[in-house]
Amino acid sequence: MRNNDRTQHIILITSYVAKGIAILLFSIFLIMLFSEGGHFSHPHFLFVDYILFFFIPIMYGFGVFYSSKNQLLNGILIFISYFGFNTTLNIAENNTLLTLQYTYLLIPSILYVSINLFKRHEDVRKEEFNRLFGEFEHLSQNYKIVQSMLDITPAMLKDDNLDNLLQLILEKAIEIIPKAQTGSILIREKDQMVFRAAVGYDIDLLKKVNLHFEDMYQYKLGNLLEPQVIQDIKTFNEKNLDAKKTQDLQDQDALIAKSVLTCAITVRGEVYGFINLDNIEDLNAFHDKDKIYIKHLAQQIEMALKNQMLVEDLYKLSRYDSLTGAYTRKQHQMLLKDLYDKSKKSETPFSICALDINNLKIINDSYGHEIGDAYLVHFSKLVKEHIKEIDIFSRTGGDEFMLVYTKCNKLCSEKRMREFKERIEQFPLIIGSKSIPVSFSCGIATYLEDSKYLDELISLSDKNLYLDKKNKA
């Protein structure tokens, strides 16, 4: 690029030199013409002199002083003026053969034509360079997009939280797309559009805005799947949204963008959501090439989301029991260890409740394993309805479960367990005309009151469970 700029600079200087030479020669010619008195030995001006005067100095002078970047035109004008002058001169003097005088006047014409040819060659080179540079820039931008999505993959494997993934994607998008300063990602939940990631805006405030799928920019513009550039988003929304939604967006400072680059995110052919990249300073910040970039970005996001869904499924398989939806034994051990470490620092009690279904073998033998599975699912559903969000419920064996009451001492855990047992008596498993009561045994051990060591607490809860089963036998 620098090379090309230097060449253009040389061409410009050369054209000025050529013009200077043309002016010098033109001045010499005029001095000689008028000092000699035209084409006769004595000064006099006839009709033919006026024709000569048209060619030189008027036409020649026009070629010299014409302010055109096309030096070829200057050269042609000088060339025509020179031959027109000499032809008229030969006619006036009755010369049968064309004789050429003042040939030095052609020097600027030759210079201008040479400059033009050189400039055209350089323009072709410049055009080719710009084309190649544009292709390189396009490939480079696409590489950045792909690389950014690859950079996200390790984080996605560590964390299956969708909002965290979308936030990371949005931040990368703003880094990649030129002129993008702020932005947001909305995800479709049935007919509602919910803000799930934002940069430059308060996400908690944006989530309060009630938007429908029909309120989206692409829906209003009649082209859901193609990227769009919207200038002056405030005016656009005032024309296309109802007053309340516009005011809600205004209240959350969500209409500060001067220009918005937006594109649909699709998953398996369906519109999953939209990504909006904003510039808050320039109405003309985004152009057609940016549409290509955000379209490619949206395609990469689709791949990332598909991968995230696969990761989420793997997480579910590793974290949750496929039949009951309770935590797996391995996940239970991790969560319990984490809870123990936190409780140890804060000296906060928690209670481990070992649970064991009574008579599951009899139910399987009497009604079949499908009914036995339904019994386990029914029991797990009742437990989930009973516990708080901070509690831990896990399946540790075939008919064995573990329930951990977080921030709950001995008195608290015993009270809650009594309430649960009273509740399940009201909800037997109904299979057709059959009603199967839900029954289980329980052993409780509380941190700080029973022991300060996790292994001892687990052992003690199992021991108390055995005693409870023995008492019910």
SS (H, E, C) the chain: CHHHHHHHHHHHHHHHHHHHHHHHHHHHHHHHHHHHCCCCCCCCCCHHHHHHHHHHHHHHHHHHHCCCCCHHHHHHHHHHHHHHHHHHHHHHCCCCCCCCCCHHHHHHHHHHHHHHHHHHHHHHHHHHHHHHHHHHHHHHHHHHHHHHHHHHHHHHHHCCCHHHHHHHHHHHHHHHCCCCCEEEEEEEECCEEEEEEEECCCHHHHCCCCEEHHHCHHHHHCCCCCCEEEECHHHHHHHHCCHHHHHHHHHCCCCCCCEEEEEEEEECCEEEEEEEEEECCCCCCCCHHHHHHHHHHHHHHHHHHHHHHHHHHHHHHHHECCCCCCECHHHHHHHHHHHHHHHHHHCCCEEEEEEEECCHHHHHHHHCHHHHHHHHHHHHHHHHHHCCCCCEEEECCCCEEEEEEECCCHHHHHHHHHHHHHHHCCCCEEECCEEECCCEEEEEEEECCCECCHHHHHHHHHHHHHHHHHHHC
C-alpha triplet 125, 126, 127: angle, nearest 5°: 90
The helix-helix angle for 2-36 and 71-92 (nearest 10°) equals: 20
Q: How far apart are CA 351 and CA 464, in angstroms?
A: 13
HSE of 150 in the Cβ direction (CA atoms, 13 Å)? 6
Phi–psi pair at 308, nearest 5 degrees: -65, -40
Q: How far apart are CA 302 and CA 310, in angstroms?
A: 12
* 254-282 pLDDT per residue, tens: 667 788 898 888 888 888 889 899 998 88
Kindly list the distances between the CA atom of residue 58 and the CA atoms of 23, 25, 54, 295, in Å, as whole numbers in the listed order. 13, 14, 5, 59
* 107-149 pLDDT per residue, tens: 888 887 887 777 777 777 777 766 766 666 666 666 666 666 6
Amino acid at 310: L
CATH architecture of the domain with range 329-472: 2-Layer Sandwich (3.30)
Q: State the pLDDT at residue 424.
A: 93
Q: Kindly state the tokens that stand for 83.
A: 């031959």
pTM beyond 0.85: the answer is: no
Residues of the chain with pLDDT below 50 are 1-2, 39-45
**Closest C-alpha among 3, 226, 1 to residue 134:** 1
Cβ contact 91:48 at 8 Å: yes
| Domain spans, the chain | 2-123, 159-317, 329-472
* 141-184 pLDDT per residue, tens: 666 666 666 666 666 556 667 788 888 888 888 888 888 899 99
Domains 159-317 and 329-472 are alike in CATH topology:
no
User: What sign does the CA torsion over 209, 213, 217, 221 have?
Assistant: negative
Cβ contact 216:222 at 8 Å: no
Cβ contact 452:338 at 8 Å: no
Q: How far apart are CA 16 and CA 81, in angstroms?
A: 20
CATH architecture of the domain with range 159-317: 2-Layer Sandwich (3.30)
In the beta sheet, which residues pair with residue 32? none
